[in-house]
Amino acid sequence: MTTDHTAISTPTASAAGTWALGDRTVNRIGFGAMRLTGMPWDERPRDRDASIAVLRRAVELGVNHIDTAAFYFMPTRSANELISTALYPYDDELTITTKVGPSRGRGGDFTFEPYARPDQLRAQVEENVRQLGVDHLGVVNLRWGSGMGKEAGSVAEHVGALAELRDAGLLANIGVSNVSAEQLREAIGVAPVVCVQNRYGLTERSDDDVLALTREHGIAFVPFFAMGTAVAGAVPGAAHDETGAAEVATVAAAHGATASQVRLAWTLHQGDNVLAIPGTGDLRHLEENVAAGALRLTPEDLALLDGVVPAATA
């Protein structure tokens, strides 16, 4: 945007500022690779050439943080393979973050069963290394829980196993995903944690305590599904959530922005340590997502949006 109230047409990912992921510095607007392949409930996979074009355009727009996982795949598509095809050899400034823990059968459902034991994490890390064509990984997140929901239990042994792999040179930094505040405290007690990936957004704020803890420790907080179920097809069979739609529309109209841009901008306004990794397989949506990093919400905007009460807690 040309002012604080007008969207710009060709922003870059640097507009939102930067944050450190361990020894790496990344722009706060990144890219999530999950949708590159298409989702398991889609009728067909995404066009491979289109997904490769999206990745290359993301880097052109200044995205230097890409989130992926070996379990992001369709029977004929793999997010890691698309990333390596599109971007290898990788720019020195690019940080690729991946996840381990869950498993998926070749049928492609998202049950994430069986969940890896600590001694099985090395094989998962090595699989990501092989698929991405690197000698070590920049950041590896322990994605906790075998199902789609958050689960209780100790993360200590799994984080400890990743710390051993870090010491062996297979990865540089450790993150955690889908964890409670108690589990984050436990992880921090085992090894330095550089980022937390949890589901969070305007209408889903059950992890405010986790966000507060990351602020306290200077850890990056990286929400996934930050635009919530307002994004068509985010979760199969999920009801369209109209919570906050009127407030978002009011702010969007004032800025000449889209509702998704406003939701992303609100997320980024939750703290300098908050990053965003919106995913898409569409070039236009990619550019809109990156542009959200340049959207500066006013105190009045934030007061209106902060007043939205998520449906689950209304």
User: Residues with catalytic annotation?
Assistant: 72
Non-local CB neighbours of 149 within 8 Å, separated by 6+ positions: none
Find tokens 């052109």 and name the residue: 60
CA distances to 67, 101, 125, 178, 247 from 141, rounded to whole Å, are 10, 9, 10, 10, 34
Non-local CB neighbours of 185 within 8 Å, separated by 6+ positions: 213
